[in-house]
Chain A
Amino acid sequence: MSLVVNQLQCSRGDIALFEGLSFKLIPGQLMWLEGRNGSGKTTLLRTLCGLFLYDKGRIEWQGESTVSNMDTYRQNLLYLGHQNALKHDLNPVENLQTLSRLAGKSVSEEQTDEALQLFGLAGYEETPVRKLSQGQQRRVALSRLLLSDALLWILDEPFVALDVVAVELLQSILVKHVEQGGMVILTTHQALPIAEDKMLRLCLDRYV
């Protein structure tokens, strides 16, 4: 159970973003991805998900290339990008249930209610997402973390638009996931209260 990246190279429009990138992530570890704007953090995350094509190198999940192993890999993967992936005309419960069922897992209304409640959205279950604020929408999207049994979380700036309470909550959720043997890869400007031995730091500026 590990994610191994070997000599990865990605480019955007004929210009290399990074090259020779290698790392290994094992269960119980969190990787904090750093780099200045335009260094390719989002591209790397999307590449790891298999959304973006890399030029050279290899990505392995459980010792097998993700190219041949894509389905097993995706079953263990949860990706949260810049966009919240919520339909504005549906309410939070409908959104969460559809997303779970798309991933091949059905969740009950109690489970979604519980997750939403934890993120302080009790009472908003029936409100269309378009009527929620930016921060609330982000919290609905983050509720997916509690409903998923994916091992590897790939999160692009998950703390954006969150207030202090929600930031602390998300931090504790990440810590718990790592302690339970999960894996996290994320980009953020927020400090993370995670022990140094459990945290990998990767700065993309060094791979240009």
Chain B
Amino acid sequence: MAINWFKYSSPSSFYPLAGKIIPVFMTLAILLIMGGLYWGFFETPDVLSDQKQYYKIIYVHVASAWMAMWLYVVMVAWAVLGLIFNTRMSYMMASATAVTGAIMTALSLWTGAFWGQTSWGTWWDWDPRMTTQLILLFLYIGYIALQSAIEETRRSDRASAVLALVGLAIVPVIYYSINCPDPNECASLHQESSLKRVEPNILIAMLVVTAGFWMYCFAVILMRVRNIILQRESHTNWVERLEAFR
């Protein structure tokens, strides 16, 4: 059976659909995050001494850091869809994703600072990962700032989409330059992914929490998109009928 996907590219049919799936995502998010955190907090072997239990912030820290990066790609994907098909819904999804992405980035920096303070005794370190995350936050802020600075919806949507795309094109270069500021020594700087060293139980708990974060982000993005739809479509008949129905 063929589904007409473009049917849902119109705000009036997407609005009720989003309303129906938000509770599903939210429930999944709560179950996964609670389950993952319980597993991580109480069912994983103690790899560190009792004084160092602060490491358990990684369940939030790593999940939010991953979300921050993935959501940027998701945002650009929506923006590109908007530029290609000229669908208003895609732009609304992109701008809703940006805010959640920025919040996730800020959360990862915040939890990272706490972790850093307890384990290294410093709130901030110019470690490549932290620096990349900070720059990512700047990119999100730039996108949101440009979008809110332009009053006309169409220009604001398209201009910020171009900016997001340019950002994505330069991100690898930025990432490379931060990770390898001295090109003469780059060969030795290939950091091995720290994931391999993680105890399997902890890793599973971390992945479960991350899945929960995905669900949470979906739910929140859809909620935000519903608000954007109402704002932008406030002059249309279907929104008026919606109001009357309430």
Contact = CB atoms under 8 A, between A and B. Distances in A.
Query: Do any beta carbons of A and B sit within 8 angstroms of each other in the complex?
Result: yes
Interface residues of B, number: 6
A15 B235 CA distance: 9
A53 interface: yes
Most buried by B among A12, A13, A53: A13
Contacts of B232: 14
A71 B152 CA distance: 28
A13 B233 CA distance: 11
Contacts of A15: 235
A12 B235 CA distance: 13
A15 B153 CA distance: 11
Nearest to A53: B154
Contacts of B235: 14-15
A13 B155 CA distance: 9
Interface string A15-33: 1000000000000000000
Interface string B213-239: 000000000000000000011010000
A13 B157 CA distance: 11
B166 to A, nearest CB: 21
A15 B152 CA distance: 11
Nearest to B86: A53
A160 to B, nearest CB: 25
Interface in B185-230: none
A189 B53 CA distance: 80
Nearest to A12: B152
B152 to A, nearest CB: 6
Contacts of B152: 12-13
B151 to A, nearest CB: 8
Contacts of A13: 152-154
Interface string B153-189: 1100000000000000000000000000000000000
A15 B232 CA distance: 11
Nearest to B88: A14
Nearest to A11: B154
Contacts of B153: 13-14
A12 B153 CA distance: 9
Contacts of A53: 154
A2 to B, nearest CB: 28
A50 to B, nearest CB: 16
Interface in A48-79: 53
A63 B233 CA distance: 37
B72 to A, nearest CB: 27
Residue among B153, B154, B232 with most chain A CB within 10 A: B154
A13 B232 CA distance: 9
A53 B153 CA distance: 13
A53 B154 CA distance: 10
Interface string A111-125: 000000000000000
Interface of B: 152-154, 232-233, 235
Interface of A: 12-15, 53
Given A13-B154, A14-B153, 8 more contacts: A12-B152, A13-B152, A13-B153, A14-B232, A14-B233, A14-B235, A15-B235, A53-B154
10 contacts: A12-B152, A13-B152, A13-B153, A13-B154, A14-B153, A14-B232, A14-B233, A14-B235, A15-B235, A53-B154
The 5 closest A-B pairs by CB, nearest first: A13-B152, A13-B153, A14-B153, A14-B232, A15-B235
